Amino acid sequence: MAGAIVLIAALFVATLNNEALYAVLGQVWRQAFFGVGLSPRDSAAMVSQVSGQVTNTARDAPAVLIYGALYVGTCLALLWLVLPAASQRRLALTFYGGATLLFVVLLGAGQLGSSVLLQLSSQLIHFIVSPLPVIGLVPLLRWYLPHKQPF
């Protein structure tokens, strides 16, 4: 129970301070590039256009990817703690995997020139990297697949 409370607090803080986290993560990846002798400006110019289309704000795509991976990882860890049955956990992973795959397909198709698909991919990633899937999945999976055994 304490672990779930800590993860909920972490999601809450990350959601309220996401701009500051993007700035910190952007600085971290730039320093990592400098550390291995690469120029992050070249890659930033290439990926900021895609990042701007997805996030509606020009941000460093590596920072967005790192933030998204950490946020979704925290959501999955929380789901792991509050969903006791393996079948519930599999469905949660399938949901996140399917949503991520759909995002990649929409983004790729949108890059071919469809602003509607880019907008859909943007809305989908904003949904994935939010607490809404957890808020919906926990009661839905506990109701749909009540656990009979702890694991």
In the prediction, which pLDDT does 151 show? 42
pTM: 0.75
Cβ–Cβ < 8 Å for 77, 114: no
In the prediction, which pLDDT does 38 show? 65
Burial class (CB in 10 A: 0-12, 13-18, 19+), 135: exposed
In the prediction, which pLDDT does 49 show? 47
Show the CA angle centred on residue 149, arms to residues 148 and 151, nearest 5°: 135
Q: How far apart are CA 148 and CA 98, in angstroms?
A: 26
Say how far residue 123 (Cα) sits from the centre of its chain: 12
- Which stretches of the chain score pLDDT less than 50? 45-46, 48-51, 53, 149-151
- What is the per-residue pLDDT across 84-126, written as a single tens digit (0 to 9) for each? 888 899 999 999 999 999 999 998 888 888 888 888 988 898 8
Cβ–Cβ < 8 Å for 77, 85: no
In the prediction, which pLDDT does 107 show? 87
Q: How far apart are CA 103 and CA 83, in angstroms?
A: 25
In the prediction, which pLDDT does 91 show? 92
Q: How far apart are CA 127 and CA 61, in angstroms?
A: 18
In the prediction, which pLDDT does 45 show? 47
Can you give the residue ranges of every domain in the chain? 2-144
